[in-house]
Amino acid sequence: MEARSAVIQPRHGCPHPPHLKSSLLLILLLGVWYGQALEMITGKIPYLEAVNGSTVLLPCKYASCIGIEDLYFRWSFNDTDPQNKLCDAVIHDETSEPNVKVYKDRVEFIGHNIEQNVSILLWNITFDDGGVYTCYGKNPKEKGRYHNATFTLVVVDQLTVVDNTLAKLIATCVGGALGLLMCYVLLKNFTLWVMAQMEERNKEGLITSSGIDNTENGLSGSKSTPKPTPKKA
């Protein structure tokens, strides 16, 4: 008898093509890279209204999960052109302070690298200083990608006084309503207590009156009726 060898045929599935695996790997690497990217931060409320002639702080901090190396930063005003800048510097590492160059009058750098702070002050602002200020950062560890955050400054003659008359009126009405409600509750409880006391006294009066009637009528519980004297034989 001729022996036949069993041949196992491979199953026909849908193997992942090589380019799909490469794409997934690239997306993963990009996600990790963006998650570690440099971030410039100008605060939760990047907006300020200031009076003409005052001094204002323009806040900016940087953050990077992979650290910095020769981080370049600059402040610009109303323009994204690198030539139109207020100040700039290079921060070599996390422990060194930058040698900041200031290009405009009334601008002062007040940041500290140990706090990752690159904020500036504007002295004696004028109406011409109103506009958008941009804080840039570029970390060579990220192949020189630029990151930025903006801060808007509005210069006014005087600060707007907020009219809180309506808020006071609402608070007064709410307080009055709560006061009336409390008075109503107290009055209701007092009335119920008085009525309970009166009802209790009425019950006591009825019991006393019932006892007196029973005594007068010779009923059980009243005074005993004297028995007649027995006759002698």
User: Is residue 147 located within the same domain as residue 170?
Assistant: no
Is 17 domain-assigned? no
User: Is residue 149 located within the same domain as residue 125?
Assistant: yes
Is 218 domain-assigned? no
Is 60 domain-assigned? yes
What is residue 39's three-state secondary structure? strand
What pLDDT is attached to residue 231? Answer: 60
What pLDDT is attached to residue 134? Answer: 94
Scanning the structure block, which residue is given the tokens 């009058």? 105
What pLDDT is attached to residue 229? Answer: 62
Nearest alpha-carbon partner for 53 in 165, 185, 155, 200 = 155
User: Is residue 121 located within the same domain as residue 56?
Assistant: yes
User: Is residue 49 located within the same domain as residue 135?
Assistant: yes
User: Is residue 44 located within the same domain as residue 148?
Assistant: yes
**Contact in structure between 76 and 82 (CB atoms under 8 Å):** yes
Residue ending a domain, among 156, 186, 221, is 156
Is 3 domain-assigned? no
User: Is residue 174 located within the same domain as residue 138?
Assistant: no
What pLDDT is attached to residue 88? Answer: 95
What pLDDT is attached to residue 16? Answer: 53
User: Is residue 152 located within the same domain as residue 68?
Assistant: yes
User: Is residue 100 located within the same domain as residue 133?
Assistant: yes
Is 53 domain-assigned? yes
Scanning the structure block, which residue is given the tokens 């509750």? 185
Domain count, the chain: 2
Is 28 domain-assigned? no
**Domain limits for position 136:** 37-156
In sequence order, what are the residues at sequence separation of 6 or more whose Cβ sits closer than 8 angstroms to the Cβ of residue 166?
none
What pLDDT is attached to residue 180? Answer: 84
User: Is residue 43 located within the same domain as residue 123?
Assistant: yes
Which CATH number do you get for residue 69?
2.60.40.10
Distance separating alpha carbons of residues 74 and 100, to the nearest angstrom: 9
Mean pLDDT by 10 residues, the chain (233 residues): 48 52 48 63 91 96 89 90 85 92 95 93 95 93 86 89 68 82 83 83 70 56 55 57
User: Is residue 124 located within the same domain as residue 188?
Assistant: no
User: Is residue 119 located within the same domain as residue 173?
Assistant: no
Is 231 domain-assigned? no
What residues does 50 pair with on adjacent strands? 155
Is 51 domain-assigned? yes
User: Is residue 41 located within the same domain as residue 65?
Assistant: yes
Largest CA distance in the chain: 151
Distance separating alpha carbons of residues 79 and 81, to the nearest angstrom: 5
